[in-house]
Amino acid sequence: MVSPASRVLITGANRGLGLEFARQYAAEGWRVLATVRNLDGAGELRALRGKVDIAHLDVADEGSLGAFLRDVGSAPIDLLIANAGIGSGGEKPAAAVTREEWREAICVNTYAPFRLAAALRPNLERGRGKKFAAVSSLAASIAGYPIAGHYAYRASKAALNALWRSLAMEWRAAGLIGLLLRPGKVRTRMTGFTGDLEPVDSVRGMRAVIARAGFDDAGRFFGYDGREVPW
């Protein structure tokens, strides 16, 4: 059993994997700080049992991030799960990639989680858990992804892997463990509910990966099934 005082921050917690992370950690007695971009859409999150605090955060908006960071203050955070992200928008040829599409993907999937982690380093250092995880994707795997399309999405997740790896390598010396997670193809809104596993199983698997990660795992990329994902 985890210490009841352990505190996890989960972004994009109003639905899908983020909501399931919040549900499972709360059920285990963690204090959950769950962030959402839209407080109106947080009904399921509000209904969770346990110690769940809900906060508004749109990391793409510096004003929102600043207000959130002021609220968090110097509170210790044991675990950060940077989960918020947008999907691929379907398989499209290279010729269909627009500037608007890739800029949005990079802002939401790459910049936002990185920006948040960089800002929360002091909080993570004050926590006991000292872990920060980002929800990546098999699409980020240059070696392992067998599909051509999804250019902007792939680029955004590959760039996230690169940034998170750099953070993990630099912050290792401070005792922090950075992890990248592959949730698998989960039946959520993002996949049009076409996945091959349920959020409950994906999240249970990822939580196990996080729980057992040690210093040697800093900067590595693991699937929900515990298997390492090739870069």
Partner 1 sequence: MPSVLIAGANRGIGLEFVRQYAAEGWTVHATARSDQACAALAALDPNVRSHRLEVTDPKSIAALARELGSGSLDVLIANAGISGDLARPPEQVDRRELLEVMGVNTFAPLHLAVALRPHLERGRLKIAAAMSSLMSSIARNTNGTQYVYRASKTALNAVWTSLAREWRPAGLICVLLRPGFVRTEMTDFKGELEAPESVRGMRKVVAGLTLADAGRLIGYDGLDLPW
**Cα 16 from Cα 108, distance rounded (Å):** 16
Residue 86 engages partner 1 in binding (rule: CB under 8 A):
no
Residue 174 engages partner 1 in binding (rule: CB under 8 A):
no
Q: How far is the CB of 96 from partner 1 (least distance, A)?
A: 9
Residue 167 engages partner 1 in binding (rule: CB under 8 A):
yes
| 3-class DSSP state of 14 | coil
The amino acid occupying position 62 is E
Report residue 87 CA to chain centroid gap. Answer: 13
List the one residue from 21, 114, 132, 224 that touches partner 1 (CB under 8 A).
114
Q: Which is nearer to partner 1, 100 or 196 (CB)?
A: 100
Q: How far is the CB of 44 from partner 1 (least distance, A)?
A: 30
Residue 182 engages partner 1 in binding (rule: CB under 8 A):
no
Q: Which is nearer to partner 1, 33 or 138 (CB)?
A: 138
Question: Site for partner 1 (CB under 8 A): how many residues?
Answer: 46
Structure-token match 């009904």, residue found: 43
**Cα 17 from Cα 123, distance rounded (Å):** 23
The residues that are catalytic are: 153
Q: What is the DSSP-derived secondary structure letter of residue 138?
A: G
Least Cα distance to 69 among 38, 33, 41 occurs for 33
Q: How far is the CB of 95 from partner 1 (least distance, A)?
A: 5
Q: How far is the CB of 68 from partner 1 (least distance, A)?
A: 15
Contact between residue 224 and residue 197 where contact means Cβ atoms under 8 Å apart: yes
Contact between residue 126 and residue 110 where contact means Cβ atoms under 8 Å apart: no
Least Cα distance to 117 among 184, 55, 72 occurs for 72
Q: Which is nearer to partner 1, 56 or 102 (CB)?
A: 102
List the one residue from 158, 177, 203, 206 that touches partner 1 (CB under 8 A).
158
The amino acid occupying position 116 is L
Residue ranges binding partner 1 (CB under 8 A): 93-95, 97, 99, 102-103, 106-107, 110-111, 114-115, 117-119, 121, 140-143, 146-151, 154-163, 165-170, 219, 230-231
